């Protein structure tokens, strides 16, 4: 995580405390700084060493309609498919349930630089990225 962010420190804490749910046949939850057995299993299954949890919902934290958010995520899915990246559905949600869930994708085999570029393209404040240690990190983009 970068220390020079323009984001409100309380927002950063909320991102760090959120749960990132992965919808697979055996669902699992990703938490920042906690090794994920679910990620490890998928890394082995797909032969990859990295993954990013990304959404196109609510650019820069501005709440959009459900219809707009779904269209944005559809474009993100198309972009990932066009690049041949494997992804599965998920959603992020704060632990208190104060924010609505944001449909997201866990994208496998994506480098940190590629993941940052995707987050920036879709106007996100942050993404979640994990390297070969399967310990997710919050990556601030602003």
- CA dist 30 and 62 (Å) reads 24
CA nearest neighbour of 41 among 108, 93, 103, 124: 108
Instruction: Give the pLDDT of residue 3.
Output: 54
Instruction: Give the pLDDT of residue 2.
Output: 42
pTM: 0.93
Name the percent of the chain lying above pLDDT 70.
98
Instruction: Give the pLDDT of residue 99.
Output: 77
Within 8 A by CB and 6+ apart from 33, the residues are: 16, 135, 136, 137
Q: Can you state the angle between helices 66-82 and 112-121, rounded to 10 degrees?
A: 140
Detail the DSSP E strand segments found in the chain: 19-22, 28-30, 51-54, 87-93, 102-108, 126-130, 137-140
Instruction: Give the pLDDT of residue 96.
Output: 73
Instruction: Give the pLDDT of residue 98.
Output: 72
């Amino acid at each position: 995580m970068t220390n020079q962010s323009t984001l409100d420190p309380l927002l950063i804490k909320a991102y760090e405390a959120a749960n990132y749910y992965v919808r697979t046949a055996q669902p699992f939850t990703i938490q920042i700084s906690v090794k994920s057995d679910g990620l490890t299993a998928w890394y082995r299954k797909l032969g990859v060493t990295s993954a990013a949890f990304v959404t196109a919902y609510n650019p820069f934290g501005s709440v959009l309609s459900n219809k707009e958010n779904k269209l944005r995520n559809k474009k993100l899915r198309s972009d990932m498919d066009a690049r041949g990246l494997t992804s599965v559905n998920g959603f992020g949600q704060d632990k208190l349930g104060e924010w609505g869930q944001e449909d997201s994708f866990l994208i496998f085999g994506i480098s940190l630089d590629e993941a940052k570029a995707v987050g920036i393209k879709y106007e996100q404040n942050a993404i979640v990225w994990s390297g070969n240690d399967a310990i997710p990190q919050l990556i601030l983009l602003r």
